[in-house]
Structure 1
Amino acid sequence: MSDDQTLTKVAECLYRNKHGTYFALLKVRGKQIRRSLKTDDSALARRRLAEFRTKAHGLTGDARTMTFNQLAKRWLAFIKPDLRPSSHRRLSGIVETVKPFFAGLPVRSIGQPQIEKWKIKRGGAVSARSFNYEREVLRRLFEYARGNLRIILDNPALDIKKRKVGKAELVIPTKEQFRKLVETLRAEPRVKIAADFVEFLGYSGLRLTEATQVRWRDVNFDSELLLVTGGEQGTKNHEVRTIPLFPPLRRLLERLAESQPKRTDSHRLFPLDSAKTAIGTACKKVGLPHFGHHAMRHFFCSNAIEAGCDFKVIAGWLGHKDGGVLVAQTYGHLRNEHSTAMAKRMTFDVLSLA
């Protein structure tokens, strides 16, 4: 032990180095644990020692044997009932990505050196968005180990900083591009249903997984409402909502109803799970940007903003729970552009009124 590490005992389990910094040194289940109390104040050191002892003696016996892989498996099982299958699959995939950095290691032995190794390696190899996803999973994993299982004293991933993510440029179809896409899809008999589906996405603002699960029993022409449930998987925030049958949406649904005389309430409006290939082929064929399903949700929002709809109202239609904050952050520039365009129409003055 170096001079800086030499400790002098000042009380039971309480030590001090030559610089006056206090340390806790105690044994829990046969394992000696040393921890800096990060103070040179005697009274504060004693309070922190008491807190540390409570935490240390609260550790469970699993701390000796549980490996990172075992922790990851247990955590994924723990969170599964609270997540949509797609969300659970995404988190499972992220866990598989970070496993090689910690595989086989006892959870209790994972500290800053191992976290630093992951951070350095992944920080230079993946995008900021991917890095932040992995960061969040590690933080949640170790917090589960600390708070729920009580097999570690501290979360070693707690201090990892987020990387700044550049703002992605929105790709929003213009009205003309939307019309051209729909017409191109409708001209091909094999993907005609994709044309109706693209219209449905653009007129409703629904997410892909919500739109594919809409059934005829969810459509109420009398009340002019569409019920959005997300089917068995539920919506993104696990809450059911309704949206109005906006005029173009109602016209589309009435046309679909007429074309499906044998439909029942339990039938889905669209017996498909994706129109990605059809949309991609159509875009390429007529020279449109590469639009995806989510671009139609952007199209819906841009039209709602042009129509003067309030951000909070739009957020409710989209299923956001933030009162319009995300809509404002994402689409606020569209309102400014629309306002500028409308302002140019204000051309009257004293001379023009004469």
Structure 2
Amino acid sequence: MVRKGENIYKRKDGRWEGRYIKGRRSDGRAVYGYIYHTKYTDLKEKLLTMKALYSHNYIFKTITYRGTLNDWASCWLKEIQNQLKPSTYASYTNKMIKHVLPFLGHIPMQSITTHNLDEWIKKIGKNLSPNSVRIVYQVLVSCFTAAVKRELLIENPCKHVTLPKKKLNNIKAITTDQQKTLKEKASKHPKGLAVVLALETGMRIGEIAGLKWEDIDFSTNILTVKRTIQRIQLINGTTKKTQIVEGTPKTTTSKRTIPLSKNLSQFLTKQKQNSNGSFVLGGCKPVEPRLISFWLKKMCQSVDLPHIRFHQLRHSFATRCLEKGVSIATISALLGHQSTKMTLDTYINSFMSEKRKAINLIS
């Protein structure tokens, strides 16, 4: 069966075939590209993307892509939207719109050089840290890599770019005395459960916000991290909106089980008795992370502690584990890191103090 005007055909093997013009030969004849799918609607959507992608070539007698980075980025972001978590897609989109396209978007993609990219990195480096520059750069690398796979580029222009040197993570753990003071306050505070959880489990703020009572097995005293709550920015034309989204943990290793101490288990049991919803913190709906940060700020002010960011509590948990002689592999598993190397890189300053202790012991 042929769908007229769409260049979509039903094959004998049951699949749908879509045809689009990639370009034209020197004599004006069309050069076609083909895509296949078992579902007509899915193929039609992908075919529209490919037609938009190659629309710049219809009037040229060449198969060289003539679009700007703006043109390709628009197609690429649309193509990957259903392949990524909403939070990841929002992050990619925001980085492209805010840090990449204002500087490089107007340039024909085929004309972007290493020099262009080096100059771009210098410009964004005036307002971003070296680590943030590298994160934005990786999004652009992915964008160009997809273009190479589509044969729109022969080589990824990011290949020879000079990047700023990485800086060590400067998030410091709070001191033992500060932790004791904060934990005592949180244990008695009506909004202190999130702080206690972070200090005793090392969970991320979004993981704590997404924690449900069904994730806690009180018979075995084990907590399972299954989801995360985030507020993400949605860009629709010129309108910027945010919304709370529930998603899976950051990585595959972030979905993990954490044993509960006897005290934490008892604390959670008391909290559950006063709860009337599925979420540990928010009841029928989750509490968003920025509200949890606000609670922490107020608690610190009430006991004259300096400003403490919530992520410092996770670092403090790891540091206390290290001070007690817990192995790197165990700390890495509890935190949900992808590798022990990541744990070592993140807590190198804490490990240095342990190295000094070791040297002193044998000297």
TM-score by length of 1: 0.70
Give per-residue Cα distances to partners, 1:205-251, cap 9 Å, x unaligned: 11111111111111111122111111541111145321112334323
Contact 2:300–2:307 at 8 Å: present in 1 too?
yes
What's the CA shift for 1:315? 0.9
In structure 1, the residue matched to 2:251 is 237
Which residue number in structure 1 is paired with residue 343 of structure 2?
327
Corresponding residue number in structure 1 for 2:139? 137
Task: Write the mapping of 1:195-344 to structure 2, written as runs, cut at 5 A.
Answer: 195-230=192-227, 232-238=246-252, 240-260=255-275, 262-263=276-277, 267-271=278-282, 272-274=287-289, 275-322=292-339, 324-335=340-351, 337=353
Structural RMSD (CA): 3.1
Give the Å deviation of 1:102: 2.2
CA apart distance, 1:75: 2.1
1:115 correspondence with 2:117:
yes
2:114/2:161 contact within 8 Å kept:
no
Decide which structure has greater strand share. 2
Measure the CA separation in 1 of the matches of 2:118 and 2:206: 38
Q: Distance in 2 between matches of 1:234 and 1:316?
A: 17
Aligned residues: 283
Question: Do 1:69 and 1:104's aligned partners in 2 also have CA atoms closer than 8 Å?
Answer: yes
- Give the drift of 1:114: 3.0
Contact 1:219 / 1:226 at 8 angstroms: preserved in 2?
Answer: yes
Q: In 2, Cα distance between the equivalents of 1:289 and 1:104?
A: 46
Structure 1 pair 334/88, CA: closer, same or farther in 2 (3 Å)? same
Residue aligned with 1:321, SS: coil
Equivalent residue letter for 2:81? K
Mind listing any 5+ residue stretches in structure 1 that lack a counterpart?
A: 1-27, 31-59, 347-354
The Cα of 1:72 is off from its aligned counterpart by: 1.3
Amino acid in the other structure paired with 2:173: I
Q: Which amino acid aligns with 1:201?
A: A
Cα gap change, 1:305 to 1:67, in 2 (>3 Å): same
CA offset at residue 95 of structure 1? 0.3
Are the aligned partners of 2:110 and 2:153 in contact in 1 as well (CA < 8 Å)? yes
Segments of structure 2 that go 5 or more residues without pairing to the other structure are 1-23, 27-53, 58-62, 229-245
1:49-68 alignment runs, 5 A limit:
63-68=64-69
Judge conservation of contact 1:101–1:114 (CA < 8 Å) in 2. Answer: no
Show the counterpart of 1:15.
Answer: none
**1:149-175 CA deviation, whole Å, 9 max, x = no partner?**
211111112211221132233321223
Partner of 1:7: none
For the pair shown, which has the larger CA radius of gyration, 1 or 2? 1
Q: TM-score, normalised by structure 2?
A: 0.68
Query: Does the 8 A contact of 2:168 with 2:345 survive in 1?
Result: no
